Each structure stands twice: as structure tokens, then as C-alpha cells.
Amino acid sequence: MITGCTVRKIWGLFRHGTRNPSKSIIDHMLVTLPELQRDIVEHGQICREQLELFERWQPRIKAEDAKLLVREGGDELYQLGQRIRKRFGKSVPERYDGNVFRFKFTKTERAEYSARNFTRGLFGRDETIDYPEALRRDPVLRFYKGCEKWKRQVKENPYSYREMDRFGSSKEMRSVIEKLSKRIGMFVSPEEAHAIYQTCAFETAWSERDISPWCLLFDKESISTMEYNEDLKYYWIDGYGYELTYRQACSAFNDLFASMEENDGPNFTFYFTHSGTLLKSIAFLNLYKDNEPLTAQHYRYKRKWRVSHIDAFGSNLYFVLYK
């Protein structure tokens, strides 16, 4: 809140809460990791306490649950709703009114239930919300899904993955493979290393307290290396790599300005969307932009573009108009 001012409008983009991984990663959890688990139990170079964690580990997910919101993700959005209420207090009406509020989500289970948990936290109760029709190719909430030019020239362009591929064969990534292979007691492929990293990340996100045994196979340097590999991918696909990528976000920000300027529309607009929307919007606003483009040889540089910091589950970007 700003002293001496009253809140007139709020407009925000919210990434859905913590979800399950994609089917391809789940397949690794169900097939690849149990094989590695056996190697670790039989040949692993780890301490007894860590070995016991691997002996007890079991996959906690089924293929049909791919990308569904998990309980932790619902809690995240519920608490975000509570925090918006605490931050703006009586400036935001305590009961839902369709003329005052606009809530919308994409046509995905994770976005829908993120919205429903958010409103429960915001109002402190279950309210009957009038949600507009959810669209698979929403021109505001998921604008990139309708841009064939971006798909062809960026997302499906092998050149877009050049820096990530280069870093994948760097001495830093080779060091990660060597250290993992030594701890597991068997040679690990780059694909298997990625599966271990993703499982570590998701199992960490799923629980506030439990430690994923797969995280114990990495040291801090290895985690930083794997993180940079991910950052290169998102920089060139969803960030500053190509101007076309972030200029698409103009449709979302056109909606923002129209919302701020209209007198008879809702005062409080909350959209529930995805990583691709948040990252492109961040780049559209010139936020977290490094002086030089991210490339394979920039690993040792201190960088602003760190996806784990700026695009976690539940990340959000909202604007407040004061009077």
C-alpha cells in the first residue's frame, strides 16, 4: 500500500502452483530411475544413511497424473490469495462481485485449480465465481499458442537450442556426469543425469519437509551447472533470445492498459497461466536482462536471468493503479 493513496485497479498474471512433471519425465521416474536405484544399492559410493534413503525410495506418481496440480501447488495459490488480502485489506472487497472481479484460467486442470484455490484464500471462503470460458489458445493468457511464426522460427528451430547443446558437451557438464557416475557406481548418460535432476527438482517442490534422495547425488557445483543448462534453454525459447518471442506479449499488456483505462469494467483482474506467459512477459518488460546474451561460455558470469528465481511455481506479476 502507498500512504495517502487508494487502490483503484489490480491486474495480475499468476503462474499455476506446483504440479506433476510431464509424461516423458514420469516415464523416466518409473523406468530409468528404478534401474539406477538398483545400481546405487549394489555399487553406489555413498554413505549408509543416504543408501537407506535410496533403499526406501519408490516412484510416487502415475503416467496419467502428468502435469496435474499437486496439494502443495493448491496450498501455494491459497496462501497467495491470503497474502493479496493481507497486503491490500479493505481496498479489495471481501465478497465476490462479478462486476468488480475478473478471474480467468487457461484450459488446463492446473490453472483452473490454482484459480479456485487463490479465490478461496482471497475471500476466506468458497465463493461462487463466474469464470469465463477457458480457451486452449487464449490470446491474452497464453498468446504464444496461437503464433505459428514463433513456433516455426523459435520453438521448433534447432538453432534455438544451439547454446544449450554446446553447454551440454562442455567440461562443466562432463564433470557432472563423471561425479554422478562415480557416486552411482555405473556410467550415467546425459539423459539419465537430466532425469535425476528433474526428479530431484519435482520431489523437492512436492514437499516442504521431505528430502529427495536424488538430490544427494549432486554437489552444489553440479546443481549450478544443471541449472545453467536449463536457463540457456528458457533464455532462447521463452526469453531474450529472439525479439519475436517477447514481442508477442503485447496482447497481454494491451489487456492490462485497457483494463486500467476502462471505467465500467472489473477493478480486479487475476489471470492464471503458465511459465511461457510469465517469462515472455518478464522479457517484454526488460526485466532480469543481462548485458550480454546467455551463451555456453558465460557460465561463470554472474547473471540476472535465473529461471529458478524468477519463474518458480506460483510466480506472479501484477500491477496496481493508485489514486
Q: In this predicted model, what pLDDT tens digit does every residue of 60-114 receive, in sequence order? A: 899 999 999 999 999 999 999 999 999 999 999 999 999 999 999 999 999 999 9
pLDDT, the chain, mean? 96
Q: Is residue 151 part of a domain?
A: yes
For the chain, what percent of residues have pLDDT higher than 90? 96
Cα–Cα distance list, 273 to 83, 104, 120, 316 (Å): 19, 9, 18, 10
Average pLDDT of the segment spanning 149-157: 97
| pLDDT band with cut points at 50, 70 and 90 for residue 140 | very high
Q: Is the pTM for the entire model greater than 0.75?
A: yes
223 — pLDDT class (breaks 50, 70, 90) = very high
Tell me: pLDDT of 34 over 90.
yes
Residue 285, pLDDT > 90, answer yes
In a domain, 280, yes or no: yes
Mean pLDDT computed over 43-69: 95
Round to whole Å and give the CA distance between 76 and 280: 22
Strand-pairing partners, residue 10, are 268, 320
The average pLDDT across 110-127 equals 97
Q: If we measure between CA atoms, which residue out of 33, 23, 107, 15 comes closest to residue 67?
A: 23
Q: Are 39 and 185 in contact (CB under 8 A)?
A: yes
* Average pLDDT rounded to a whole number, residues 256-272: 95
The helix (H) or strand (E) run that includes residue 122 is helix 109-123
Q: What amino acid occupies position 191?
A: E
CATH number at residue 179: 3.40.50.1240
pLDDT at 317 > cutoff 80: yes
> What confidence category does residue 263 fall into, taking pLDDT thresholds of 50, 70 and 90?
confident
Residue 107 inside a domain? The answer is yes
The predicted pLDDT at position 237 comes to 98
Region of poorest pLDDT, from 72-81, 96-105, 190-199, 206-215: 206-215
Q: Return the pLDDT at 1.
A: 72
- What's 308's DSSP letter? H
Confidence of residue 3 (pLDDT cuts 50, 70, 90): confident
What residues make up the domain containing 224? 7-322
1 lies in some domain:
no
- Given a cut of 80, whether residue 288 has pLDDT beyond it is yes
Is 2 within the bounds of a domain? no
d(CA 226, CA 201): 11
The mean pLDDT of 114-136, rounded to a whole number, is 96
Pairing of strands 268-273, 101-105: parallel
- Tell which residue, 167, 166, 147, has the closest CA to residue 156: 147
User: Residue 202 falls within a domain, yes or no?
Assistant: yes
pLDDT at 293: 96
Confidence label for 208 from pLDDT (cuts 50, 70 and 90)? confident
Is residue 88 in a domain?
Answer: yes
User: What's the number of domains the chain is made of?
Assistant: 1
